[in-house]
Structure 1
């Protein structure tokens, strides 16, 4: 799998990154540790060398599974994790990083990211300069190699960049959720900041596996995803059906088509979650799909039947942030 460079860091990452939110189990159902570990190892064998996690995913549980699965090949993979919005004071960032290092069974983190801006989910507002000072110190000490941010607006990204080099932004980004294109993407393109798109298959909606009457239990985070609700969901169902003939023409699945679209976008990488080996191998194959300009235009027109009707809020869920 051909590698891409993360921002200006020199770190080479795979165009498909394995996301591990589901490995933390909280907010997901039907997740088995043994299957996750097999999937992580299969991802590496298939050419996916970059893995994204976070301290908040099961309070470190996801990090521990990633560390366990990849311990024997640490030098051959790129590990990315995140510090949550309740740990953004200087000493808290340092302590959180040390916990993540322990969980991941490593002495350095390739990409360390601020998961949500200060103040999110009712947490204390900490000046970005203080958080960045901690991250810069960790970088100087060699505990982290690059700094990234997640769920930041373009304005917040620009503010953070005044205090140090930011090499990546991690926003929700898919055919059905494109807020970043008009917000932070122009700044990313101008400053060589990689866009690590999470939920590139819209939490499974773009795989076509959910029918018109799909209901999720309250414990599943998709029950609060705006794309799975009301008229948004109905429009998405129609759009998915219109994408099926194109996927058939390309001899790929709908999910692979969605991933291929994301990694065709400027400076974009797709973070794709998987709960088993079958899913991760399918995700890895998306890099083989080449989309023509006419196909990209066709996909864009179909997707806008969904995105043109969404609200102008950056968060994909009805959470209080």
Structure 2
């Protein structure tokens, strides 16, 4: 498993990060707690040392699953969680952090992230100075070790950094979806900010397991994913067909190819969810994938046929 430095800190994070959105159950179907606990443990055994979650994932359920799954392993793991967009007032940030510490069963959070910018989804607009001030105080107290942001554009990231150090950005980013990083990737590289890419497999599309006519169950958030709709989905299927020979000659799966392309980029890690132990082990193998520059360039070109065709906005029709 490759490892990378988290921003300008001394914290090492695994190139493949275990994602806890599914463990929260909300917006997903068919998620089993026991299978999630086994998946967390399997990921650790396979070399994944970094685990990402959020208070928003099932109102703390994902955090509690992580705490239960890896109890007794605190010194081996790096924990990332997030404060919700409706908890960005100073007092709310502090309350949320204390709640997350209890959920996780730990005395410190390695990276505490603002999940969405203030004002998202109709939430109150809170000055970034107030939110960052609370985070800096928590850091001074040793309750968090580093500060990150998620779903911020460049101007929002710059505003946060004017108040205090920001060591990571967590955007929606994959071979097929790059709209969220078009104005931030070069800025992050220039300023030593680690990019923690979520939905790096485009919610499973890049595994190649979804064909024409697939219908997601009611309650599955992928119903609203623009990549699975209309002409974009047709382009994605064609791109997957073009990627298969590259995966074959490298002896890897489509998923490993997509993740390998992502983590080959300087300062970029991939946050990948898993429904069960087998998926967690398979995802972890991507941390050892190495691709030559010519293949990386070809993969990039093929992926842009999908990503560049999308208009600005989220990956979902929310």
Alpha-carbon distance in 2 for matches of 1:185, 1:47:
27
Q: Measure the CA separation in 2 of the matches of 1:300 and 1:186.
A: 16
Give the Cα separation in 1 of the matches to 2:218 and 2:190. 41
- Kindly indicate whether residue 149 of structure 2 is the aligned counterpart of residue 149 of structure 1: yes
Q: Deviations over 1:231-262 (max 9, x none)?
A: 11111011111111111111111111111111
Find the counterpart in structure 2 of residue 50 from structure 1.
50
Q: Is the 8 A contact 1:43 1:280 kept in 2?
A: yes
Q: CA deviation at 1:190?
A: 1.2
Matches within 5 A, 1:1-12: 1-12=1-12
Contact 1:155 1:184 in 2 (8 A): no
Partner in structure 2 of residue 66 of structure 1? 66
Alignment of 1:87-236 (within 5 A): 87-236=87-236
Query: Which structure 1 segments of 5+ residues have no match?
Result: none
The C-alpha deviation readout for 1:273-317, integer Å capped at 9, x for no partner, is: 10111111111111222111110111112111111210022x211
- TM superposition outliers: structure 1 runs of 4+ over 6 Å: none
Distance 1:286 1:198 in 2: 15
CA contact (8 A) 1:24 1:59 kept: yes
CA contact under 8 A between 1:250 and 1:289: conserved in structure 2?
no
Task: Name the SS for the 2:96 alignment partner.
Answer: helix
* Match of residue 28 from structure 1: 28
Q: Does 1:303 align with 2:287?
A: no
| 8 Å CA contact 2:23, 2:61 repeated in 1 | yes
Partner SS state of residue 163, structure 2: coil
Asked if the contact 1:7/1:192 (under 8 Å) is kept, the reply is: yes
Shift of 1:178: 1.2
Q: Which residue of 2 aligns with 1:318?
A: 317
Mark the runs of 5 or more structure 2 residues left unpaired by the alignment. Answer: none
- CA offsets 1:187-243 (integer angstroms, 9 cap, x no match): 111110000000000000000000111121341110111111111111101111111
Secondary structure (helix, strand or coil) at the match of 1:148 reads strand
3-state secondary structure, aligned to 1:195: strand
**1:247 aligns to what?**
247
Distance 2:102 2:153 in 1: 31
**Which has the higher mean CA deviation after the structures are superposed, 235-244 or 109-118?**
235-244
Mapped pair 1:263 → 2:236: no
Contact 2:7 2:194 in 1 (8 A): yes
- In 1, distance between residues paired with 2:132 and 2:288? 38
Q: Distance in 2 between matches of 1:41 and 1:50?
A: 12
SS in 2 for 1:269: strand
Give the drift of 1:181. 4.2
SS at match of 1:9: coil
How far residue 180 of structure 1 moved from its aligned partner, in angstroms, is 4.1
Distance 1:303 1:30 in 2: 30
- Shift of residue 268, structure 1, vs aligned partner: 0.3
